[in-house]
Structure 1
């Protein structure tokens, strides 16, 4: 009888998934099953998301193996939600577009707030945009306050967020746009069979880029998790 190979662990007790497995939760799963449980000090489904202070790392220096998406818990000062810029060593994360609600599929209840940030190299407001993107998720203000009331060992002025960070492929974005513009002879838009109804990282970023210029003048308002 073949012996099952145990799951190996990396530093800080974070699970390394076996070959062929990929951690790719939906927005709702990431907020409800991981962020909410983390905020309320409940056990997590799996120890696959490490804690980190993102301000101490440039995106290319973040811990993790391989390419693709990386996930982190970050304890953020509540005042940071009202800032559109987060500085790091070589640049800063800048909010793109407005926060979006994360709604539970079954109950249609607001369970979280999602923001998109793009990393810029250089000094704040003078840097150049890169292909590094962060999706930051926080709990609605009412849940965040409740979680703080039971976490005596964490500063009351800070809240947990969970972040998905990845380096987008610009060639893929351009190809997606070309496919959407391609039309059949009968005028119908050609749909890529690989596309699904669920949101993707590329789709989210494209939507934010289209609205970024219009939202530039109101950047102070887009950081608040109450704006949904």
Structure 2
């Protein structure tokens, strides 16, 4: 498990998360500092996720590359159900621009304990980042800062 040197923080912008980390992951390129673990976060309870992060930090943010998993093989809906509850989308997607060009989006989700649609809302929040590039076939991953 990597540890940041004293005084350093991993605090990337939306553009950095999409254009450097997520794009490099999708393209199979090396990322210099391993600050983001690869994990299907939807297989775990939110309280278990901090221990799954690949670096220790006192910040209350953790970052994960999460493989995309469809709810139904022929559908477009993503499976965001865990053993203890589900992640519910809140609000609209936020567009991310780089050099005035649309490069991705950020989706906000809140964890609800129990079965949908009657789950109990919790304080656990994730932001799911998606890379958008019409010229590049993109499949497989989203970036989820937790």
Q: TM-score, normalised by structure 2?
A: 0.85
Q: Partner of 1:146 in structure 2? A: 137
Q: Partner of 2:42 in structure 1? A: 55
CA 1:121–1:98: 2 relative to 1, 3 Å: same
**Equivalents in 2 of 1:82, 1:71: separation in Å?**
24
The alpha carbon displacement at 1:146 in A equals 2.0
**Equivalents in 2 of 1:141, 1:79: separation in Å?**
24
Does the CA contact (< 8 Å) of 1:84 and 1:94 recur in 2? no
**Equivalents in 2 of 1:85, 1:43: separation in Å?**
28
**Unmatched runs of 5 consecutive residues or more in structure 2:** none
Higher mean C-alpha deviation, range 92-101 or range 80-89: 80-89
Task: Give the length in aligned residue pairs.
Answer: 139
**Equivalents in 1 of 2:87, 2:29: separation in Å?**
30
More strand by share: 2
More helix by share: 1
Superposed, which structure 2 residues align to 1:1-228 within 5 Å? 10=1, 15-62=2-49, 63-64=52-53, 65=56, 66-77=58-69, 82-83=76-77, 86-104=80-98, 107-140=99-132, 142=134, 146-147=137-138, 158-165=139-146
CA 1:94–1:82: 2 relative to 1, 3 Å: farther
